[in-house]
Amino acid sequence: MQVVVLDSAAEVGEYAAGVILRGVSHGTVKTLGVATGSSPLAIYKALERHRSPELSALSAFALDEYVGLAPDHPESYAAVIRREVTDRLGLDPGRVHVPDGGAADLAAACLDYEAAIKAAGGIDLQILGIGRNGHIGFNEPTSSLASRTRVKTLMSATRRDNARFFADVTQVPSLCLTQGLGTIMEARTVLLVANGKAKAQAVARAVEGPLASMCPASVLQMHPHATFVLDREAASDLA
Ligand code: F6R
């Protein structure tokens, strides 16, 4: 695992975008795994400034989706990905995939999502944020390190953290679909970005703590090409 520490969130975004752009121009990144939340927004804005036909030809797979929000709900991850990724990067919407949190058969939707990732040849580069409890995607603590895309229950701490995007915490769905830790580990390269003091403990547990399902991001210690890109505050609890 590589750790890169930079001065600001803006530099974190620029650095991660640079890694992606180099992969795109070398032809090693054709399928991007995309995260929602605040952390990766600077990456998408930086990529937008470097839009090119090669960048716009990428396929993308989202990490997760709430269950029970219509795709046109502004806080559904389908809508967030459309706004922040598809539109900014000029991607073909037909090549941008989000788990179907409105499916009548959620288990089948999860299997279909795994099959779609496989059919696309796997994910070349996965962007990740990290929750304060160490989650990646919506793999909350105690998630199996080998898990695949599935239905998960969000912890109340995560619902409280995400309440800022909704009128109040009661509006945050309790269930989601998320790529599993085993799914994420199959991405060829992983870039985790984190900013701010609130993430410092989770980052330290992920990088230096024991490999443990109580800190799902610690599974990345086993990934051959994982990089944590951090601002100074997010790195401040590292030894
Ligand atoms: C989002 C996701 C989550 C977030 C994490 C951090 O698709 O999968 O793991 O990356 O909750 O969220 P922010 O960046 O908003 O602090």
Q: Which band of pLDDT confidence, cut at 50, 70 and 90, is reported for residue 11?
A: very high
Pocket of ligand 1 (CB under 6 A): 35-39, 63-64, 129-131, 135-138
Active site residue 223: no
Mean pLDDT of 32-50: 97
Q: In this predicted structure, what is the pLDDT of residue 52?
A: 97
**Ligand 1 atom nearest residue 194's Cα:** 14
Q: In this predicted structure, what is the pLDDT of residue 145?
A: 96
pLDDT over 70 percentage in the chain: 100
Å from CA of 239 to ligand 1 middle: 24
Beta strands 189-194 and 226-231 are parallel
Q: In this predicted structure, what is the pLDDT of residue 196?
A: 98
**Residue 7 is part of which domain span?**
2-231
Per the prediction, the chain carries an average pLDDT of 97
Distance, CA of 237 to chain centre:
22
Mean pLDDT of 81-99: 98
Which CATH number fits the domain that encloses residue 168? 3.40.50.1360
Q: In this predicted structure, what is the pLDDT of residue 135?
A: 98
Tell me the whole-structure pTM to 2 decimals: 0.97
237 falls within a domain:
no
238 falls within a domain:
no
Q: Which of 65, 114, 124, 133 is catalytic?
A: 133
Mean pLDDT of 118-141: 98
Q: In this predicted structure, what is the pLDDT of residue 100?
A: 97
pLDDT over 90 percentage in the chain: 99
236 falls within a domain:
no
Q: Which band of pLDDT confidence, cut at 50, 70 and 90, is reported for residue 209?
A: very high
Mean pLDDT of 80-84: 98
Q: In this predicted structure, what is the pLDDT of residue 46?
A: 97
158 falls within a domain:
yes
Active site residue 64: yes
With 0-12 / 13-18 / 19 or more C-beta atoms within 10 angstroms meaning exposed / middle / buried, residue 136 is: buried
The residue whose CA is least distant from atom 8 of ligand 1 is 137
239 falls within a domain:
no
Task: Please tell me the total count of domains within the chain.
Answer: 1
40 falls within a domain:
yes
Q: In this predicted structure, what is the pLDDT of residue 146?
A: 97
DSSP class per residue in the chain: -EEEEESSHHHHHHHHHHHHHHHHHHT--SEEEE--SSTTHHHHHHHHHT--HHHHT-EEEESEEESS--TTSTTSHHHHHIIIIIHHHT--GGGEE---TT-SSHHHHHHHHHHHHHHTT--SEEEE---TTS-BTTB-TT--TT--SEEEEPPHHHHHHHGGGSSSGGGS-SEEEE--HHHHHTSSEEEEEE-SGGGHHHHHHHHHS--BTTBGGGGGGG-TTEEEEEETTTTTT--
How much is the ipTM here?
0.99
The residue whose CA is least distant from atom 3 of ligand 1 is 137
151: number of Cβ within 10 Å: 16
Which candidate, 178, 141, 152, 151, places its Cα nearest to that of 37? 178
Active site residue 139: no
Mean pLDDT of 58-86: 96
Q: Which of 65, 84, 124, 140 is catalytic?
A: 140
Beta strands 125-128 and 189-194 are parallel
Q: Which of 84, 135, 195, 231 is catalytic?
A: 135
Mean pLDDT of 189-204: 98
Q: In this predicted structure, what is the pLDDT of residue 134?
A: 98
Q: In this predicted structure, what is the pLDDT of residue 185?
A: 98
